[in-house]
Structure 1
Amino acid sequence: MDTTHETVVRLGTGSLCFGVYELGKPVLYLSDPELIREVLVKDFHIFTNRRKFITNDPMFDKMVGSARDLEWKRLRTVMSPTFTTGKLKRMTPLILECVDTMNDNIDKIIAKNNGQLSEPVDMKRITGAYAMEVVIQVAFGRKVSALIEPNNPIIENARKMFSTSLFSLVKFLTIMLAPNVAETFKISPFDRKVTQFFRDFSLTLIDDRKRGLETGSPVKRADFLQLLLDSIKNNNQAMDGSDEYTDSKSAEKYREIQPTDDMTDKSLTNDELISQCVLFLIAGYESSATTLAMCLYNIAKHPDVQQKLYEEITKFTEQKSSADPYEAFFALKYMDAVIDETLRLFPAAIFLERAPSEDYELKGTGITIRKDHVVHIPTYAIHRDPDNFVDPEVFRPERFLSENIAHNPYTYLPFGAGPRNCLGMRLAQLEIKLALVNLVRRYVFYATEKPLELGVATGIMKPKSVDLRISKRF
């Protein structure tokens, strides 16, 4: 996909790590799973922070993804209870409402062709609208018509946020090569009109919720926005820690980030509240939309996989019609494998980065990483390394079935690893699974002759379009 993959194959195969200069600055690339574990998990207390990046926008600097050290721990502690098992179960019916809306939209597309095979449809646009509807519904308690309105401003601005252009490249290079110039002229890598749109939209959501509470609304939602508002009101005492978060697929349990006196001595500020709301909107859109679209692309390119998945789903729906949807959908092992293999080939984040808070000697290498120098973990390249996966360019879901798993867990990092892994991982998995079950059960997807074009924006994989044909099963 990009030269990073080729560089890792050329320099990294058979070695633990290698160094490069990026725009004159030293960066250490790690491809060895044991060294990756040291950085992401074992010595996380030293590698808490990511690369420091100039944004010249306080809203982005206050996001949990950008925060550093104790500020990051405090924000993470406040936000983590959003994704407990109990809350995800309560989100499931809301997500299924969004799935139904997506199905209705696809039905209308097929109906335009008299119910026969549709013309090529950009599934990325559809999955993007679905992902945004889910985020706004489950996090903010609002319904939007993103799937019905093709030019919905929320979706259009989300696309612009992850778009690339010559102008954005010039701004990025200025920030990297001449940070003093970028600071002087307040150059931001992001489109200020787009960021202002999401700032204003978040303020509207917050103000609407506050007004509802002030007027004595009988229903207090247990969602992301309410959790943050409670944090402001109650100085973090409203956190619900009753559900323990573990990642069952990891080789070891990640350490919990527990609140301490130096993390809970102040609640979220209003600016921090707005920043987390904007982050939730942006982060919840692109990665989930791309992963779901690429799942559909892969099964369209491999009809045998699509048929096997359909048979598993059909058998499941016949036997589990009255089961709890949240619990039941996690029993679909082949579907899990399809999603896992899609994330191996097309991870939403193509790399991870950390920067040590002090000089650090990398175990067994004799290499000292200087304070704040960047450690780069090229996820995309690691996932396609033949030393880690046999026939790495081949889409083969069976490699992720429990009886076949042979890879080291630190060679598969679609959501990162350790305490700073993807905060919204469980919600993303849930919304992808609920959508995939319903889509495959209801439709058949066919590949087109149009080649897949992949791009990258701010480290996020972004297909330009995912064009498929669709027919209805019933």
Structure 2
Amino acid sequence: MILFAIIAIVLFIVYVKWRHSYWTRLGIYQMQPEFFIGNARSVLTGKTSFAQTVYERYNSIKATGQQCGGIYLFLEPAVYFIDPKLIKTILQKDFQYFMSHGLYHHPKDILSMNLFNMEGDVWRNLRAKLTPTFTSGKMKMMFDTIIEKTNGLEAMVDKFASNQQPFAIKEALGRFTTDIIGSCAFGIECNSLEDPDNLFRAYGKKVFEPNLYRFWLFNLLPWWFLGNIGFKSNGRDVSEFFIKVVKETIKTRQENQIFRKDFMHLLLELKNMEINEKNPLTITDDEIAAQCFIFFLAGFETSSTNMTFALLELAQNPEIQEKLRDEINDVIERHGGKITYDAVMEMKYLDMVINETLRKFPPVTILPRICTKDYEIPGTKSTIKKGTRVHIPVWGLHRDPDYYPDPDVFDPERFNEENKLKRPDFTFLPFGEGPRMCIGLRFGMLQSRVGLISLIRNFSFSLNKKTSLPIRMSSGSVIISVKGEVWLDAKKIRDY
């Protein structure tokens, strides 16, 4: 019996070693794996942020001079592509090999069946249904709702400024974007700015709480098993809450013929279309629930995070803050003193500030893909096998001094037209690129623009000593976030 146990242990060790030599056997550089867990320790323990892990992997691979490198998540191989030309090929020209994100979804977990998670023809059909709801014309339709929510944000900051109290900008902006998305996605007034404990805010925050338990389950157990035992990727209480809200909203609007300028109305228009050969773009109640959910999460978290980092940098760079304020005032004056959609789109320096913020603090650290059929890496004899995880290291590209000299310096001029032309394509990927580029890009940018215009126009910001520097990224969070809070001091500079 002891002999059999020894043989089994030896065979297991040999098998693990063989699995962990996959990339070497393929002729691709690999980072040194730890026994069994591979290169996943930093993620599993939560001791290192995703951002730092991606940065270290990127630099390790780049130091070899190769265009890609391999890692292991337990025994599963994954590959990092770091060469911009190759990344462009993967995300655009050879997209058919890398159509999927490789993220958990199951029909019995309704909220998981959203556009971000879907694959293949199901994703393609859903994308075709939703694309018309994110045109610039549709954004104009929702513009007044976004502007309306700035009143509560200004009142909140005004209160702190009047009392000369520092305030936590990340929490304030999270409440602001929750109110916008609650109204634009669900047609519901959340009033998070007045009531920070409302259910929308509470459940939205809960989804983004670090959860290593879920990471283990997604990577160790088959998805069909998780779905069939009733597993809910966002938690049962979160799932039940959002599905109930969506279905009650659908019922109320249809019974009372309610019209609102929001995302829900656009989805209901799709739902009510007649199915025919020319226009098979109808959508089910479950699909509406899943899309409203992902729109809500992506909309409130990424935009609030982007504005938080922008204000963090503006508070430390008063000359940039003043230059931005001058542009905002000049453009608004040309538009009759009102913040209009056209005025917002005219603010070029504002876009440069936002893009530099996205460069330095991209919402996601990697773009995940799954190889959907065997792919020979251009210029090599190495073939990436179907089912292999592919990572595009956004955080590494954005902080590479070859593309962005002095990458820790906040410099919006990196994004003037002259400097943009100097950089290789696909070295700026805050929202992805190619057919799977973020569909809500326009809306997210519009939120960030309007929020910053409202604040910079009316207040001057400086960093409060309660903010810990240098800032650190929260570990275990998919969307990057500051560990702790960003505390600012505000001074009112304009009566409104």
Say whether the fold is shared (TM-score over 0.5): yes
Match of residue 157 from structure 2: 106
The TM-score normalised by the length of structure 1 is 0.86
Unaligned 5+ residue runs, structure 1? 238-259
**Mapping 1:228-377, distance limit 5 Å:** 228-235=267-274, 265=280, 267-321=282-336, 325-377=340-392
SS at match of 2:383: strand
Report whether the alignment pairs 1:428 with 2:444: yes
Query: Are positions 1:177 and 2:177 aligned together?
Result: no
Q: Which residue of 2 aligns with 1:378?
A: 393
Q: Which moved more, 1:273-282 or 1:288-297?
A: 273-282
The one-letter amino acid of 2:88's match is: R
Which residue identity does 2:417 align to in structure 1? Answer: S
Aligned residue in 2 for 1:8: 58
Query: 2:488 aligns to what?
Result: 468
Tell me the distance in 2 between the aligned counterparts of 1:305 and 1:236. 53
Distance in 2 (alpha carbons) for counterparts of 1:55 and 1:390: 44
Equivalent of 1:95 in 122, 146, 151: 146
What SS does structure 1 have at the residue aligned with 2:331? helix
8 Å Cα contact 1:54/1:179 also seen in 2: no
Q: CA deviation at 1:427?
A: 0.7
Name which of structure 1's ranges 225-234 and 280-289 shifts more when overlaid on structure 2: 225-234
Tell me the distance in 2 between the aligned counterparts of 1:199 and 1:37: 38
Aligned equivalents of 1:169, 1:327: Cα separation in 2: 44
Partner residue of 1:118 out of 156, 165, 168: 165
- Counterpart amino acid of residue 230 in structure 1: E
Task: Tell me, yes or no, if the aligned pair for 1:56 and 1:187 is still in contact at 8 Å.
Answer: no
Map of 2:98 onto structure 1? 47
- The 8 Å contact of residues 109 and 231 in structure 2, kept in 1 or not, is answered as no
Residue number in structure 1 paired with 2:251: 207
Matched, 1:194 2:238: yes
Q: Partner of 2:97: helix, strand, or coil?
A: coil
Q: How far, CA to CA, are the matches of 1:109 and 1:448 in structure 2?
A: 13
Aligned residue-pair number: 437
Could you say if the C-alpha distance between residues 311 and 191 of structure 1 is closer, same or farther in structure 2, counting changes exceeding 3 Å?
same
Give the distance between the partners of 2:433 and 2:304, measured in 1 at CA. 21
2:312, 2:486 within 8 Å by CA — same for their partners in 1?
Answer: yes
- Match of 1:374, as an amino acid? R
Cα distance, 1:344 vs structure 2: 0.6
SS in structure 2 at match of 1:292: helix
* CA separation of 1:153 and 1:107: change in aligned 2, threshold 3 A: same
Looking at structure 2, the residues matched to 64 and 171 of structure 1 have their Cα atoms a distance apart, in angstroms, of 20
- Choose between structure 1 and 2 for higher RCO, CA contacts under 8 A separated by at least 6 residues: 1
Q: Which residue of 2 aligns with 1:459?
A: 478
Residue 27 of structure 1 aligns with which residue? 78
Residue aligning to 1:76:
127
Cross-structure match for 1:241: none
Larger Rg: 2
- d(CA) in 1 for partners of 2:105 and 2:269? 31
Aligned-pair distance for 1:351? Answer: 0.9
CA contact (8 A) 1:19 1:27 kept: yes
Q: Which deviates more, 221-230 or 369-378?
A: 221-230
Relative to the length of structure 2, the TM-score reads 0.83
Give the unaligned 5+ runs of structure 2: 1-50
1:319 to 1:269, Cα distance in 2 relative to 1, 3 A: closer
Mean CA deviation greater in 148-157 or 197-206: 197-206
- Cα displacement (A) at 1:416: 0.4
Structure with the higher helix share, 1 or 2: 2
Distance 1:340 1:364 in 2: 33
CA 1:460–1:55: 2 relative to 1, 3 Å = farther
Tell me by how many angstroms 1:226 deviates.
2.0
Deviation (angstroms), 1:299: 0.3
Cα drift, residue 458 of structure 1: 5.3
Deviation by residue 1:132-160 (Cα, 9 ceiling, x = unmatched): 11112223333221111122221111111
